[in-house]
């Protein structure tokens, strides 16, 4: 994956995490980056507090969908389009009572023994 695509995806995810946590009583964002050598992948996990508990984690990736008024809703749609162009990426979106969680997985499909992605 191209570095500008990685930075664009991370920028979208972090921007959304910041915006969501800003309106919460507890403003928490956790970012974890780690290498999972056993599965030949790198992980970036972003979890943040959020107030809109009924958010549809499937709909948020639709073009034009937004939980904010007067917003174009293109960020996560754009991230999904980047994912489609890079077959070595997965993005898993989950939520629990406290946190909204995005897990970006980057797999090294070219040479499993030599270099890391990103």
State which residues form the domain around 30: 3-107
Please give the pLDDT value at position 32: 98
Provide the pLDDT confidence category of residue 1 given band limits of 50, 70 and 90: confident
Could you read off the pLDDT of 22-42 as tens digits, one per residue? Answer: 999 999 999 999 999 999 999
pLDDT higher than 60, residue 113 = no
Whether 37 is in a domain gets the answer yes
Whether 115 is in a domain gets the answer no
Segment 53-69 mean pLDDT? 80
For residue 92, the domain's CATH number is 3.30.565.10
Closest Cα to residue 108, out of 116, 100, 96?
116
Whether 117 is in a domain gets the answer no
What are the distances in angstroms from CA 57 to CA 84, 96, 109, 117?
Answer: 18, 11, 28, 27
Residue 4 φ then ψ, to 5°: -70, -30
């Amino acid at each position: 994956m191209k570095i500008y695509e990685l930075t664009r995806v991370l920028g979208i995810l972090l921007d959304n995490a910041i915006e969501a946590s800003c309106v919460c009583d507890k403003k928490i964002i956790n970012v974890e980056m780690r290498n999972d050598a056993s599965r030949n992948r790198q992980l970036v996990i972003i979890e943040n507090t959020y107030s809109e508990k009924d958010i549809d984690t499937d709909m948020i990736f639709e073009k034009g969908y937004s939980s904010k008024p007067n917003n174009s809703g293109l960020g996560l749609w754009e991230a999904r389009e980047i994912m489609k162009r890079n077959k070595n990426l997965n993005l898993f979106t989950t939520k629990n009572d406290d946190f909204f969680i995005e897990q970006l997985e980057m797999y090294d499909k070219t040479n499993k023994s030599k270099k890391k992605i990103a």
